């Protein structure tokens, strides 16, 4: 062999060998596409699970603080308006409500005369009330709270019953 000559080209694969190589390449390509899809699905699932965990933790923490807010509101109801104590409690309540709003929490207030809705209300008692139709709210004891479309706590209410 001289320096200017090239080696002879490799022999052409037989048609059945070529078909087998093509099938193997197609199989490898399909496995690659499946692995890429699995990886993308894993990333989406991991992101969704992370969001779900963050939402769960937020809901648990907020739900744990709601009784403290209820106590604060009861203290406000029983403190004389215009006193330094009342004004201080009012400021703390506003801070609490701002913090809840910043977390996406919405307060649901049940007004007297509203129809009782078991999806957002918890009836703690029933009383005969001539001024209210049966099955309507007479008094709200605690507000309901939700975050997004998820109810954190139902409103505790007194419901009217037929006299």
Looking at residue 79, the DSSP 8-state letter turns out to be S
Segments in the chain forming alpha helices (H)? 15-77, 84-102
51 and 114 share one domain: no
Question: pLDDT > 90: what percent of the chain?
Answer: 82
d(CA 144, CA 66): 10
* Interval 3-50: pLDDT, tens: 678 888 888 778 888 899 999 999 999 999 999 999 999 999 999 999
* Interval 71-129: pLDDT, tens: 999 999 999 999 999 999 999 999 999 999 999 999 999 999 999 999 999 999 999 98
84 and 38 share one domain: yes
User: What letters, b where the CB count within 10 A reaches 16 and e where it falls short, cover 51-78?
Assistant: eeeeeeeebeebeeebeebeeeeeebee
53 and 109 share one domain: no
Contact 159, 136 (CB under 8 A): yes
Tokens (6 digits) for 2: 């001289």
Residue with tokens 């954190």: 152
Torsion of the alpha carbons at 154, 158, 160 and 163, rounded to the nearest 10:
150
Q: Which of 103, 125, 148 is the last residue of a domain?
A: 103
Output the pTM of the full model.
0.72
| CATH code for position 109 | 2.30.22.10
19 and 96 share one domain: yes
Q: Quick one: how far is CA 48 from the chain centroid? A: 11
Tokens (6 digits) for 117: 């809705």
99 and 116 share one domain: no
Q: Rounded to the nearest 5°, which phi and psi values hold at 64?
A: -70, -30
Range of the domain at 45: 14-103
109 and 133 share one domain: yes
Looking at residue 54, the DSSP 8-state letter turns out to be H
Identify the band that residue 2 occupies on the pLDDT scale cut at 50, 70 and 90. low
């Amino acid at each position: 062999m001289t320096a200017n000559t090239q080696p002879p080209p490799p022999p052409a694969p037989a048609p059945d060998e070529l078909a087998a190589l093509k099938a193997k390449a197609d199989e490898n390509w399909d496995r690659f596409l499946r692995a890429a899809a699995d990886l993308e699905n894993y990333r989406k699932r991991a992101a969704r699970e992370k969001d779900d965990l963050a939402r769960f933790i937020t809901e648990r923490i907020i739900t744990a603080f709601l009784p403290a807010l209820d106590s604060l509101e009861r203290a406000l109801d029983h403190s004389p308006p215009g006193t330094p104590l009342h004004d201080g409690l009012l400021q703390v309540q506003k801070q609490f409500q701002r913090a809840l709003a910043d977390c996406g929490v919405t307060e649901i207030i049940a007004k007297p005369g509203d129809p009782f809705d078991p999806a957002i209300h918890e009836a703690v008692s029933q009383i005969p009330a001539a001024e209210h139709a049966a099955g309507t709210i007479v008094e709200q004891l605690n507000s309901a709270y939700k975050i997004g479309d998820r109810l954190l706590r139902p409103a505790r209410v007194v419901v009217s019953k037929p006299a």
